[in-house]
Amino acid sequence: MVNRWLKTNCLVASATAFWLTALSPVPAIAKGISYSLALVTSVQLVQESRRLIVQDARQAALRAMNQELEHVEIALHTQQQEQALYEVYGTSPTYPPEVREELTQSLEHLYKEPSADHPGETSSSTSITRGFYLAVKSLLEVKGETYVIEKVLRLGGGQWTKGKEQLQQILEEGGRNGW
């Protein structure tokens, strides 16, 4: 690459020198030779420039392909890691189906309780709220955010944003109280 740049610069310098020599006060034969040599070096310069342009384009394309290949490798590695994590945690839940169903029913019951809307009024409502928070936290680990918002809070679809906010409030309250 450096060699081609050096060759191109030498051809530019030679063509310029021959053109300037032809314009200087020299005999007619020297002017003819200078013009001829300037023309030959200019043609060589154009050919070398074309090679250099092609080479630069190839290198740019190779860099782009290598960069894209790196991105694909990173994405593939991430996908493989996610798949491995899903196989470890996703398909083998920590709760049997009966316990999960019981947790879901408990969460639904706790959510529908009027005292759940007013945390901290009585000690029983605090323990209910704490239980609700812990159950939501457990379901989040096992089933994920979508499941809790859609199945427990029943705020899926068009109310997704409201459900996400409500879930965030539940998690923040549990964090504030150190549950």
pLDDT in tens, 105-163: 777 776 666 654 544 444 556 667 777 888 888 788 878 888 888 888 888 788 888 88
Q: What is the pLDDT of residue 150?
A: 82
Q: Structure pTM?
A: 0.39
41: exposed, middle or buried (C-beta count within 10 Å: 0-12, 13-18, 19+)?
Answer: buried
> Collapsing DSSP states into helix, strand and coil, what is residue 77?
helix
Number of Cβ within a 10 Å radius of residue 136: 21
Q: What is the pLDDT of residue 94?
A: 60
Of the candidates 93, 106, 111, which has an alpha carbon nearest to the alpha carbon of residue 154?
111
- What residues contact residue 151 under an 8 Å CB cut-off, 6+ apart? 104, 143
What is the tens place of the pLDDT at every residue in 47-95? 999 999 998 899 999 999 989 988 888 888 888 887 777 776 665 446 6
